[in-house]
Amino acid sequence: MKQYKFILSGGGTGGHIYPAIAIANELKSRFPDAEFLFVGAKDKMEMQKVPQAGYKIIGLWIAGLQRRLTFDNTLFPIKLISSLLKSRTIIRNFKPDVVVGTGGFASGPLLQIAAIAGIPTVIQEQNSYPGITNKLLSKNADKICVAYENLERFFPINKMILTGNPVRQDLIDIDSKREEALQYFNLDPNKQTLLVLGGSLGARRVNQLIAKEILTFAAHNIQVIWQCGKLYFDEYKRIEENGNIQIHSFIDRMDLVYAAADIVISRAGASSVSELCIVGKPVIFIPSPNVAEDHQTKNAQTIVDKKGALLLKESELDSQFSVVFESLVKDPEKQKQLSKNIKQLALPEATKQIVDEIVKLIR
């Protein structure tokens, strides 16, 4: 049997890295003898997270253009040429059967060189509004696996397959883990639990909101698990002294924290949205306004339009948060309806379907 070789590229944020790792794991389960190589951006989080998952990674000297005039922007053409040349060397030496890109700046040069070399390429687009890298790459990609409907205005319709986003398989049946989760996080089973997720790095505005609303949560007898991000952990750790609140820089057991949660406040990155559809908890999305094309708001809006979640913009937090949050906490029927509706939007077989499409290209 042929020993296949796969290159995967995606990074910058957990939303690009973890889907790539999930795809690699599924490929590895089908082709145990296959060889894998990841390509990321130097000094980004994938350079740590990918080796922790057991895969080799090579870093490119690449970064995106800043929205304002900076010295780094003047280096962009040099970085791009450097990354294209290094990608050509990687492709030539590794000789992959397929190259898969899950987004992030490193995937641009790599997939472009792979396409020029005639190697099949697959794009996995997580968002409801694609980034510029994937829009440019789509012209030469063989397949484009998308997580949302109605992306024909961005991608060639004959290349698109609706698969959903890869998610951790341990999230599929969290209801059975409720008891274990309450013990793991040392929670009171007689209190509602609020889970706050700000993304892998944290979210300043969300953190400021939670710190301000601690007395509100206490008044409703709510216990809080707050993932504030590593950038903010030292700033907020002391708040734990108030009781009924746990603060984490990062949460390893996402299956258990979702199982413990009754209500979730979250950013609206693509991976988070896909996970929350699968776990089916009532959600208040607070999208980051600081991302390209405001895609987090668009991600959240697709769920809200189908009555599967609530949405608050950062600009509305001071005036609207207390009203929206209290109306949800006091209305168990509303919580049940949101849970039911968001769960109907889940695509739990995404990873397998994406790998099915990859396999079609090599057989």
pTM: 0.85
- Which DSSP string corresponds to 121-142? EEEEE-SSS--HHHHHHTTT-S
Residue 73 is predicted with a pLDDT of 61
Q: Strand, helix or coil at 281?
A: coil
Least confident of 65-74, 113-122, 142-151, 154-163: 65-74
Cα 152 to Cα 163: distance, rounded to the nearest angstrom: 15
Q: What percent of the chain has pLDDT over 90?
A: 74
Residue 308 is predicted with a pLDDT of 98
Cα 31 to Cα 261: distance, rounded to the nearest angstrom: 36
- Which tokens belong to 233? 């952990």
Q: Strand, helix or coil at 283?
A: strand
225 pLDDT tier (thresholds 50, 70, 90): very high
Residue 244 is predicted with a pLDDT of 87
Q: Strand, helix or coil at 40?
A: strand
As a whole number, mean pLDDT of residues 146-150 equals 91
Cα 303 to Cα 326: distance, rounded to the nearest angstrom: 21
Q: From start to end of 42-139, where are the E strands?
A: 57-60, 98-101, 121-125
**Which amino acid does the sequence have at 314?**
E
Residue 174 is predicted with a pLDDT of 93
As a whole number, mean pLDDT of residues 187-192 equals 95
Half-sphere exposure of 21 (CA within 13 A, CB side): 24
pLDDT, tens digit, for every residue of 306-348? 999 999 999 999 999 999 999 999 999 999 999 999 999 999 9
Residue 335 is predicted with a pLDDT of 97
68 pLDDT tier (thresholds 50, 70, 90): low
More confident residue, 246 or 43: 246
66 pLDDT higher than 90: no
Residue 71 is predicted with a pLDDT of 56
pLDDT, tens digit, for every residue of 291-303? 877 889 999 999 9
Tell me the average pLDDT of the chain: 92
**Cβ neighbours of 55 (radius 10 Å):** 18
pLDDT, tens digit, for every residue of 69-78? 555 666 767 8
Residue 142 is predicted with a pLDDT of 97
